Structure 1
Amino acid sequence: MERVTLSVGDDVLDLADARGVGVEELVGEALRRYVDAEGEAVREVAVRLAGRHAVLLRRLGE
């Protein structure tokens, strides 16, 4: 795992304070949610492409 250092604005600090969590925890949660959503979007495209090209993929696998 890599550590990343970044600057955050007052809005992030205020949100973390309002939620009663640390900035690192808030940003970590946001990043996990973003990565999960992007991963799901990529999986959906991959499934759609695999369905469209099933015959070709089957022939390539022979």
Structure 2
Amino acid sequence: MNQLIITLSDTERDGLADLADACGRTPEELALDAVRAHLAGERERVGAEAARLAGAHGPLLRRLGQ
């Protein structure tokens, strides 16, 4: 398992701790869930954009691949 250290402001850390306490979870669990959700969303967004570009520029991409 890898670790990532991030710096939060006091306000951000307090907010994360308060939310974690209200949810019965740890701040680390909430942060990990947030990172996973962001990665999934970005993966979907980038994939959709790549598909759009491939569709829009298909003939050019095929010619470049020859």
Common fold by TM > 0.5: yes
TM tier, smaller: 0.7 to 0.9
How far residue 3 of structure 1 moved from its aligned partner, in angstroms, is 2.0
How far residue 19 of structure 1 moved from its aligned partner, in angstroms, is 1.1
CA-based RMSD: 1.4
What amino acid is the match of 2:15? D
Moved runs in structure 1, 4+ residues, more than 6 A? none
User: What residue ranges of structure 1 are gaps of 5+ in the alignment?
Assistant: none
Which whole-Å CA distance do the structure 2 matches of 1:2 and 1:57 have between them? Answer: 40
User: What residue ranges of structure 2 are gaps of 5+ in the alignment?
Assistant: none
Query: Aligned to 1:57, which of 44, 58, 61?
Result: 61
% identity of equivalent residues: 44
**1:2-46 Cα shifts (integer Å, max 9, x gaps):** 522322332211111111111111101001101111111111111
Which whole-Å CA distance do the structure 1 matches of 2:19 and 2:64 have between them? Answer: 51
**Number of residues of Structure 1 aligned to a counterpart in Structure 2:** 62
